[in-house]
């Protein structure tokens, strides 16, 4: 057999074997490259296809139920530490979820869960603190009338996080109002049992009698107990209907109720100090971000 015959035979043997997709009676075999894989007949329904026509896998467990966020990521997002360090704290038993110590790596939590680091609740969002000098005529808790403006309109561009006001301030009142996404701090500051230093500059509908001034200093009996103030005095070089009042109570409408019980109506009410925060360099209707030291001072109240 010649060399040419052997070469032809070899080619013939290869052609009689498995087709490569480009040989064999001119027919092209099916290619199972990416994008052309066979599709199960039960998965051809467009409703079951995700973008790119790949089969959409069914979720195991309850339909639509959130899988949550890994605990170490939750801790890192709160700003306490890095995810790597969070794993160390988890293993050491420094983290509790809904009151239970969690040491399992990869444990997942929901945003509604109460997660604490060394006994202190943390927030998966970066805590933000905004101080507003509230103008008159803005609702704090909202209004049923769409045309009425709220304080949320004034701080709409202050943060991408969901901020809420701490405590209340009457619609016609002006002055300092704190906003934050730090639920633990907000709860602590608004708790009537804790109290927070507040100074008001107010104007009455008539001069405040000296005897009534003394009654306020001693404590005024209201329907929910005795209202005690830290200090009350006439504003220097102003008519006696202008009064300065320092109080720690956070009970609703406490200042108004004190003066109303003595026969006075408040014409103007301005909160000039809140927990050590002041209106210095803060124009009415404007807001500013608290400094780190101011936040520390509030957390120590």
Instruction: List, by residue number, the catalytic residues.
Output: 170
Residues with Cβ within 8 Å of 97's Cβ and at least 6 positions away in sequence, in order, are: 71, 107, 109, 113, 114, 115
Using CA atoms of 72, 77, 81, 85 in order, give the dihedral in degrees to the nearest 10.
20
Compute the distance between CA of residue 182 and CA of residue 298 in angstroms, rounded to an integer.
12
Q: Decide: helix, strand or coil at residue 5.
A: helix
Sheet strands (E) in the chain: 69-70, 95-97, 100-101, 108-109, 115-117, 120-121, 129-134, 164-165, 174-180, 198-204, 220-222, 225-227, 231-234, 242-247, 266-274, 277-278, 287-289
């Amino acid at each position: 057999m010649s060399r040419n015959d052997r070469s032809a035979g070899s080619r013939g043997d290869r052609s009689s074997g498995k087709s490569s997709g480009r040989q064999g009676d001119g027919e092209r075999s099916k290619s199972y490259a990416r994008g052309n894989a066979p599709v199960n007949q039960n998965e051809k329904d467009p409703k079951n296809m995700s973008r790119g026509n790949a089969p959409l896998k069914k979720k195991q467990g309850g339909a639509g139920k959130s899988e949550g966020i890994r605990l170490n990521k939750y801790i890192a997002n709160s700003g306490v530490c890095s995810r790597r360090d969070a794993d160390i704290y988890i293993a050491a038993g420094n983290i509790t979820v809904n009151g239970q110590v969690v040491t399992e790596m990869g444990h997942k939590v929901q945003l509604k869960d109460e997660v604490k680091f060394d006994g202190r609740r943390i927030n998966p969002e970066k805590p933000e603190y905004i101080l507003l000098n509230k103008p008159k005529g803005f609702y704090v808790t909202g209004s049923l009338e769409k045309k009425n403006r709220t304080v949320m309109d004034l701080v709409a561009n202050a943060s991408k996080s969901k901020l809420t006001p701490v405590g209340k301030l009457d619609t016609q009142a002006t002055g300092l109002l704190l906003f934050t996404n730090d639920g633990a701090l907000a709860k602590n500051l608004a708790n009537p049992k804790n109290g927070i230093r507040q100074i008001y500059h107010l104007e009455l509908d008539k001069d405040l009698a000296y005897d009534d001034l003394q009654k306020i200093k001693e404590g005024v009996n209201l329907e929910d107990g005795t209202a005690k103030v830290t200090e009350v005095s006439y504003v220097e070089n102003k008519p006696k209907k202008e009064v300065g009042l320092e109080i720690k109570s956070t009970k609703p409408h406490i200042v108004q109720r004190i003066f109303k019980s003595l026969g006075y109506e408040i014409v103007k009410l301005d909160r000039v100090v809140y927990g050590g925060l002041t209106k210095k360099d803060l124009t009415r209707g404007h807001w500013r971000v608290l400094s780190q030291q101011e936040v520390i001072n509030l957390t120590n109240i």
